[in-house]
Structure formats: C-alpha cells, structure tokens
C-alpha cells in the first residue's frame, strides 16, 4: 500500500471550533505565550499554566472531529496512513485514525514535572475529572503538569516522525504555518520527487513551496479536493 503521511497543525481543528495560534484572532492574541507555553512560564506560575490547559481540556471533551479528520481516516481503506500532528487535541483519535504521532504532547494527559517523559507518571484524565487542582502532585511527588511540549523543551517524537516522512510516498500538510521547528523542518525529510500537498486557505511560507501543490482551502474542502487528485 502507498504510504501517505499527514502533517497537521491548528488549522486542522478550526472547523471543530478551535482557534489557531497565529491567526488574526489566534490563541496567542489572548494569552502571552511566554506565560503559558514556555518552560520558564511553567516554573514562574504553574497554577496559571494548569488553569489555562484545564479550560482548553474541558472544551476538548465536548469537541467533535470535522469532515477533514474523518476523510483522513477513510483513506486508511486504500493507503497506509500516518498522521503526524502538532496539535495536542485528540480529534484525530476521535475520528478513528490508527497511527498518530503527537509532536507537541497530548492535552488529555498530565505528567510529572520532574520528568515529563517518564511513562510511569503519564496519566490520561477522564472527561468527568479533567482539571488539575493547584498543587496537585504526580506519582513521583513533583507538581502535576500538562503532557504538553513547552517552547524550549525537547520534542522526543521528532526522530520517528522524520523517519516516517523519509519513507512517505506522499506528504500532505494541513493547517500549519510551518514556523515552529523542529516540526516545520519535517518537510525537508521527503525523498526527492515525493509529491507534497499543502491544504491551507492562506499562503504559508515554506522552503518547499517550489515542490508543493497548494490547495488553498480549509481542511474539509481541501481534503475533498486532494482525494479527487488521488
């Protein structure tokens, strides 16, 4: 089966009711990214950070995947599909996609702040108890924190993601401004001649722009157009 790798970003979840980060009314317009998405911000005020992600997490449990998520799932019938996502939402999971790599963590999970990648202390929060209380501790006695990769922290899943892009027969980028590295650098791992598609209503500055087919539409309409090209 041909291997299609998707690289998705915040734009993938816009039709499910989530804001992008850098759009005109983007999430970072309302909250200083330094305070809620950096390692320093966490150290300075862990309660503020947990409260921010508590609110986003509550919203997530009520959210539904959109047609774009579902069309990606449907392609699994005829293709070997892997989704590499920068999103921390679980909408690709809710759509039923089998193979997903989360580069920036998962909003439904919390972890140790001593060692966020220590799997013994990574816990999935149930919908009816999805908020972290101030001062709540992880299993190792450190403060419980969101299982999210903050700016300034390592992206442990980037190596397996790069390997998958290097083996892909097709790369489809949906809803990312490609400004955050190392995720944005994944485009460069495609073998020469691998078709690259970009589904995004706006122009996204990427070094691969010469090699890609830009479907200038939102995720759902763009996926419909992409499928027609297959």
Question: What mask, x for binding ligand APR by CB under 6 A, covers residues 161 to 190?
Answer: -------------xxxx-xx----------
Question: What mask, x for binding ligand APR by CB under 6 A, covers residues 207 to 226?
Answer: -----------xx-------
69 flagged as catalytic: no
Nearest residue (CB) to ligand APR, 16 versus 190? 16
- The span of 70-78, 108-116, 124-132, 198-206 binding ligand APR (CB under 6 A) equals 198-206
- The span of 45-53, 89-97, 160-168, 194-202 binding ligand APR (CB under 6 A) equals 194-202
Catalytic residue among 39, 69, 104, 214: 104
Site for ligand APR in 3-32 (CB under 6 A): 9-11, 14-15, 20-23, 26
| Cross-strand pairs, 3 | 80
**CB closest to ligand APR, residue no:** 11
Angle at 178 between CA 174 and CA 180, to 5 degrees: 130
Report, in Å, the least distance between residue 37 CB and ligand APR.
Answer: 6
Burial of residue 71 (number of CB atoms within 10 Å: 0-12, 13-18, 19+):
middle
How many angstroms separate the CA atoms of 182 and 3, rounded?
22
Nearest residue (CB) to ligand APR, 139 versus 182? 182
Write the CB contacts of 40 (distance below 8 Å, at least 6 apart in sequence): 34, 152
- Residues 112, 118 contacting (CB under 8 angstroms): yes
| Cross-strand pairs, 171 | 5, 196
- Between the alpha carbon of residue 115 and those of residues 84, 143, 148, 224, the distances in Å are 23, 10, 12, 42
Nearest residue (CB) to ligand APR, 98 versus 202? 202
Q: Which residues are catalytic?
A: 104
């Amino acid at each position: 089966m041909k291997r299609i790798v998707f690289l998705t970003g915040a734009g993938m979840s816009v039709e499910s009711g989530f804001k992008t980060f850098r759009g005109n009314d983007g999430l970072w317009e309302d909250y200083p990214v330094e305070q809620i998405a950096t390692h320093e911000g966490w150290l300075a005020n862990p309660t503020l950070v947990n409260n921010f992600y508590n609110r986003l997490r509550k919203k997530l449990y009520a959210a539904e995947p959109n047609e774009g998520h579902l069309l990606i799932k449907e392609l699994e019938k005829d293709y070997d599909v892997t989704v590499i996502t920068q999103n921390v939402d679980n909408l690709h999971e809710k759509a039923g996609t089998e193979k997903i790599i989360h580069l920036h963590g998962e909003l439904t999970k919390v972890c140790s702040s001593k060692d966020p990648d220590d799997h013994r202390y990574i816990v999935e929060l149930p919908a009816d108890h999805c908020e972290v209380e101030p001062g709540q501790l992880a299993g190792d006695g450190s403060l419980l924190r969101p299982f999210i990769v903050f700016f300034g922290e390592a992206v442990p899943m980037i190596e397996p993601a790069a390997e998958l892009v290097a083996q892909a027969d097709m790369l489809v980028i949906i809803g990312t401004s490609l400004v955050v590295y190392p995720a944005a650098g994944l485009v460069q791992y495609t073998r020469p001649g691998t078709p690259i598609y970009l589904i995004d209503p706006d122009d996204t500055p990427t070094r691969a722009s010469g090699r890609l087919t830009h479907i200038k539409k939102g995720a759902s309409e763009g996926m419909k157009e992409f499928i027609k090209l297959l």
